[in-house]
Amino acid sequence: MVAVTVYLAAIAIGLTVAFFKFIYRRRRPNEPEIVPGNLLWGNGAEFAEHAVNFLHRCQKKFGDIFTIRLLNQYITLVLDPHSYENLAREKVFDFDPIQRQVNHNVFNFELIDARKMLSEAGKKVNGRFLTTGMRNFADNLKNAFAKVSTVDENGNIYQTIGDNWGQDGLRDLTSKTLFSALFYTIFGQGDAIETFEPQTFYKNFDSFHKYFNYLWLGLPVKLFPKATAALNVLSQQPTSDEMLKRPGVSDYIKFSTEFMKANNQSEQDIVGHNLVFLHVNYNTFRLAFWVLYHILDDRATFMALHKEVQDLVERKTETATENGPLGISIEEFDKLPILDSIIRETLRVTSGVFMVRYITQDVEFEMDNGDKALMREGDRVAMYPPAIHKDPEIFEDPEIFKHDRFVDAKFYKNGKELKNPLVAFGSLCPGKKYSLLQTKWFLVNLMNSFDVRLVEGQKTECDVNYYGHEILPPTNDVQVQYRLKEKFQELDFLARRQC
């Protein structure tokens, strides 16, 4: 009995010491207010329940800057949108450790030279590589469109044309078209492993992503059997040598594979890195799903975009000198104001991301209005774009989707114009341009060559349990019907502006 009591007392003392060492903190002068929370998980439960509502409540009570705790991580939130540029520029706010946390905790690998890899990732999806990538993407998308218009959801031959409408979930359809094109544009074609194909990856990513926030915070993947099972499937990839030989493999995967091999990184590291690259590209798939949903859900949005795409095709047809597909250049489809506004509005309502940085040394951070706050080395500092995107002072009726909200518009907070009203890509995403162009090309082509409609009564909304993900997934898929148009002018991606 005495032994048990001593044992329990030792555990209690151990836990108390651990609490004071790793969790408890007293606010120092000039530090932001600490939001009270649960003894163990801090503000985790309120954050997980509905992050935007929780942060708006805190903002009302504590102002534009305050500190929350998720498990043992203290995060200072800066909710003043005018201070975005100061935060993005601050040298002691470092993204590298956050990136490492994702690589290590979620995808189970380390990078020997992360900076070099990231700077190359930026180069290989921009400049001249952007056009090569887009060219490959356009070809892969054409194949995917051809497949869904000739094969039904069970793989049987079925022409979706005339009175033959095909039916599928909108997410499933977007995965069979856009995600499939993304997958082949990244990894090229080949038949090394049966499971290394877009549909298997789409389904297993879906299961795996459910646990992303828990894994990111450091909970071991073994706690979640479904995540472990999905990760096992996702890890079945061609060997690095096979990957390098796949026809159509992207310049970035070629570079990263060769670079990691040259640095003696293991096959497992290479597999993990491939996954993280597909994971960032997966955001384009989520975005495209939502844009399509909003277009199909709202007649005015559909009609406005339909007219814009039709006008473009007619303009091009009038000036075409040859028969065959109409060449459309990046400049032409990137500058369509309605399409651009629909995509921005979709990003505004579906973005769920944290723009988070590790604080490498104690610092006095200056807000845009001149207020100063002390921040501690080892904490994290973050902006929370969804809280800005849903601020009624900046965006009137923030819960309502308005397709033309961003056409020639300016946005204000406290009477001052915002330099960056939409911060869904954070300040560092190198894939922003690529991703937006892919989404636009996908939509222009879909609107041009397919009839698509939502099945009566189908509705969905953002799943707020996933706040923290770049783009929120839907709570459920919706059924759509689609068919190839009987008459349409085929479009071709033009790598250069036509003279």
Would you list which residues are annotated within the binding site for substrate? 111, 283, 380
Residue 253 is a binding residue for ligand HEM (CB under 6 A): no
| Contact mark string toward ligand HEM, 430..449, x via CB under 6 A | xx--xx--------------
- Residue at shortest CB range from ligand HEM: 431
Residue 151 is a binding residue for ligand HEM (CB under 6 A): no
| Residue in 64, 379, 391, 470 binding ligand HEM, rule: CB under 6 A | 470
Of 302 and 425, which has the nearer Cβ to ligand HEM? 425
Which residue numbers belong to the known binding site?
111, 283, 380, 429
The owner of tokens 């801090």 is: 42
Residue 386 is a binding residue for ligand HEM (CB under 6 A): no
Q: Per this entry, what is the length of the chain?
A: 499
CB of 47 to ligand HEM, least distance (A): 17
| Residue in 221, 338, 424, 437 binding ligand HEM, rule: CB under 6 A | 424
CA distance readout (Å), 29 to 24, 25, 76, 173, 362:
16, 13, 15, 55, 13
CB 271 within 8 A of CB 235: yes
Tokens at 98, concatenated: 């956050």
CB of 487 to ligand HEM, least distance (A): 33
**Number of residues lying near ligand HEM (CB under 6 A):** 24
Which residue numbers belong to the known binding site for heme?
429
| Residue in 34, 215, 349, 355 binding ligand HEM, rule: CB under 6 A | 355
Of 160 and 368, which has the nearer Cβ to ligand HEM? 368
| Contact mark string toward ligand HEM, 272..291, x via CB under 6 A | --------xx-xx--x----
CB 134 within 8 A of CB 441: yes
Q: How far apart, in whole angstroms, are the C-alpha atoms of residue 408 and residue 392?
A: 19
CB of 101 to ligand HEM, least distance (A): 12
Of 87 and 484, which has the nearer Cβ to ligand HEM? 87
CB 207 within 8 A of CB 230: yes
| Residue in 230, 471, 484, 494 binding ligand HEM, rule: CB under 6 A | 471
Q: How far apart, in whole angstroms, are the C-alpha atoms of residue 337 and residue 19?
A: 54
Q: Got the DSSP string for 232-243?
A: HHHT----HHHH
CA distance readout (Å), 112 to 10, 250, 261:
41, 21, 11
Q: Is 413 helix (H, G, I), strand (E, B) or coil?
A: strand
Residue 102 is a binding residue for ligand HEM (CB under 6 A): no
Of 160 and 438, which has the nearer Cβ to ligand HEM? 438
φ/ψ (deg, to 5) at 232: -60, -45
Tokens at 468, concatenated: 């923290």
Q: How far apart, in whole angstroms, are the C-alpha atoms of residue 253 and residue 249?
A: 7
Name the site residues for ligand HEM (rule: CB under 6 A). 95, 99, 118, 121, 125, 280-281, 283-284, 287, 353, 355, 424-431, 434-435, 470-471
